[in-house]
Chain A
Amino acid sequence: MNLGKLVWREFSERKNQLVTGFLAVLLGITVIVSIKNITFYSEKAVARELDALGANILILPKSASLQDYYSADLQDEEFPEEYVTRLTLSDLQGLDNLSPRLSLPVELGGGSYVLTGILPKNEFQAKAAWLGAGIFARPQGCGDVGIPAEEAAAVTPPVTTPEGCGPDGTPAEGTGAGAGGAQAQETLVRRTVIDTLDSTEALAGAEVAAALGLKQGSTVDLLGQTFTVSAVLPQTGTVDDGRIFAHLHTVQRLAGKGSVIQAIEVVGCCNQISQGLVQKINRLLPEAKVVTITQIVDTQIKTNRMMSRLSLIFLGIIVLVGGASIANYMFANVFERRREIGTLMALGANSSFVLRAFLAKALMLGLAGGLAGYVLGTILSVTLGPRIAGVPVFPRLVLLGWAVLISVTLSLAASYFPARRASRLDPFTTLQEM
């Protein structure tokens, strides 16, 4: 016999009396776990969608108008390249990638195209569509959903890749989350192509390459400078297919405008965007205009807020109803066990023992409620998540910790005063009044 066994025996023998308190905790924890689980995967799904779109924040000159998100840099207004430095040196969280660019119209082979100056590594890391082609490593951050590869594969359909679109002419493969086997090749390609992209190298968009018959190693004259095509980019379905990309500083020199750019594309973390990243960039760069893919982000912000409020509401409910229910049960339990408490004291138990006995019971109740709530909440979220939020939901062990922590804390807090009352009972009175 020990304290734990004593408490467990009472706990198990009188479990019917515990039903109300247990159910209150169980239901509260179940709902919180369900909401938190669905919210987590919902946020990740939207983050993946945003990530798949590539840059989700654009920084433009103040007076620029935004007619088309993907051709926002094709306008006359400019701003200093130094803005990039400001962003880089800032402590803003959630900036996964920055891609400054400057575009010029060029005539080539009888057609009109756009020569876009980029800082290569940033530019390509910002383009998820190209990443899917296996050319460059995917940026880490909001695109990394932190779920196993097989789960990610279930969540995100593989990106189909045109054959022969890789710069080395090999068919590329992979998924949005990055295929492990292709990783080394991607890194190699990045180093050999991007890191060596010098002032005379260019990358041809798929449409330009097809129209002009360009391929790797071809040369092309633009604004009086001869460029060598380092790679032909895969089809993206955007205006980028009609562009030729060269080093930003080369394009700046050809444009004769100094260190200016027309836009900075930013891959911002979805969560950080919903937490005000755009406003923070605005404060950092008050002379610029910061825009985002507002519809998607707004939806996410609204969903997040709603889920967050729901979680808080249920947390409030569980604290009030669950706490009151447990406290009520515990007070009744203390009253019912007065004689037992008096007997234990007559047998030599001190106040501390009685206090510990009741708190141990509260601990068991909290553990049982938290564990059962986690299991039920996880089952509910995995079952209902796809129907409610349209996303696959998987069990998250971290929620078990939270569920148990909330449940145990609540149970202990609600039981403290009844337990203290039990420990302070006058044994004489309890024995006499029976």
Chain B
Amino acid sequence: MLRMESVVKQYRHRGQVIRALDEVDLSVEKGDFVAVVGPSGSGKSTLLLSLGGMLTPTRGRVHLNGESLYDLAPAARARMRRERIGFVFQTFNLVPYLTALENVQIPLMLARAAEEEQHRTGVSLLEKVGLADRLDHKPAELSVGQQQRVALARMLANDPEIVLADEPTGNLDPDTTIEITEFLVELNSEGKTVVMVTHNQETASRAKRMLWLVDGKVYSEKPRKETRPLSRR
């Protein structure tokens, strides 16, 4: 369902060319739960955002259900993100001046859902993540774990097929880390495809499949000198 073909992503920084993704070939089937592990600066976020239609590769293609994401017009790509992909961020990225309920309503608003439906769905999702009594709280009035749960509820608002989680437990305490990881496992068991990047091997171990990303190359096992990266060739 989600596939990368020879994806290269290069940046130019202070005159130097940095290759964040280097001929990456990756295939994620429907219902899969893939954890991509790698050290800081290995290109994990670049990989995830490229998969989510947020970052145009320098070369190569990213397909979602057979459609080449970056051959779509920007507006169509935005619609694809809105309808099929849910993002979870390490820093939660909640809108600070909106309440928990309003934050969850944002994707529904972007999908032009009626106000009543927005409210009903928002309340239901916040109940699901255990925040029924925090509907009108702003992010600053919530704990870090609660903020991430609001972010998870927001991610689920449009019932996406694919969940892309960028270090979702990176800022959390151990208890909340387990809680959020289990939540992702539960989502996967409900049929959602999950791709999670993390540097936490313990969290990654809860995934069905673990990949390593080192220097822009993806490996199916922890790379040693002789390990060959994943490739179509």
Contact = CB atoms under 8 A, between A and B. Distances in A.
A339 B82 contact: no
B64 interface: no
B28 to A, nearest CB: 18
A344 B106 contact: yes
Interface in B86-133: 87, 89, 91, 93, 95-98, 102, 105-111, 115, 118
Contact of B110 (A9, A13, A349): A349
A347 B105 contact: no
B91 A9 contact: no
A9 B102 contact: yes
Consensus secondary structure, chain B interface: helix
Interface in A53-109: none
B74 interface: yes
Contacts of B46: 428
B102 A347 contact: no
Interface in B48-104: 49, 52, 54-55, 74-75, 78-79, 81-83, 87, 89, 91, 93, 95-98, 102
B34 to A, nearest CB: 19
Interface in A342-398: 342-353
A150 interface: no
A345 B109 contact: no
Contact of A347 (B91, B97, B154): B154
Interface residues of B, number: 33
A10 B91 CA distance: 20
A332 to B, nearest CB: 16
Nearest to B55: A428
A6 B97 CA distance: 9
Contact of B81 (A347, A352, A431, A434): A347
Nearest to A3: B109
A434 B87 contact: no
B107 A352 contact: no
Nearest to A348: B82
Q: Which of A1, A339, A353 lies at the interface centre, i.e. has the most chain B CB atoms within 10 A of its CB?
A: A1
B74 A347 contact: no
A347 B118 contact: no
Contacts of B105: 1
A339 B93 contact: yes
Given A1-B105, A2-B115, A348 B78 contact: yes
B158 interface: yes
A341 to B, nearest CB: 10
Contacts of B81: 345-348
Contacts of A345: 54, 78, 81
A141 interface: no
Nearest to B105: A1
B148 interface: no
A199 B87 CA distance: 98
Given A347-B106, A347-B107, A351-B74, A14 B49 contact: no
A352 B79 CA distance: 12
Contacts of B107: 347-348
A3 B109 CA distance: 8
A1 B106 contact: yes
A309 B233 CA distance: 77
A49 interface: no
Q: Which of A9, A345, A352 lies at the interface centre, i.e. has the most chain B CB atoms within 10 A of its CB?
A: A345
A348 B97 contact: no
A427 interface: yes
A350 B45 CA distance: 21
B70 to A, nearest CB: 13
Nearest to A339: B93
A340 interface: yes
B95 A343 contact: yes
Contacts of B93: 339-340, 342-343, 346, 431
A347 B49 contact: no
Nearest to B9: A428
A427 B87 CA distance: 13
A334 to B, nearest CB: 15
B110 A347 contact: yes
21 contacts: A1-B102, A1-B108, A1-B109, A1-B115, A2-B109, A3-B109, A6-B109, A339-B91, A340-B96, A343-B89, A346-B81, A347-B87, A347-B106, A348-B83, A348-B107, A348-B111, A348-B158, A349-B82, A350-B74, A350-B79, A431-B54
Given A1-B105, A1-B106, 8 more contacts: A3-B109, A10-B97, A346-B81, A348-B110, A350-B78, A427-B49, A428-B46, A431-B93
Interface of B: 45-46, 49, 52, 54-55, 74-75, 78-79, 81-83, 87, 89, 91, 93, 95-98, 102, 105-111, 115, 118, 154, 158
The 5 closest A-B pairs by CB, nearest first: A348-B82, A13-B97, A350-B78, A1-B105, A343-B93
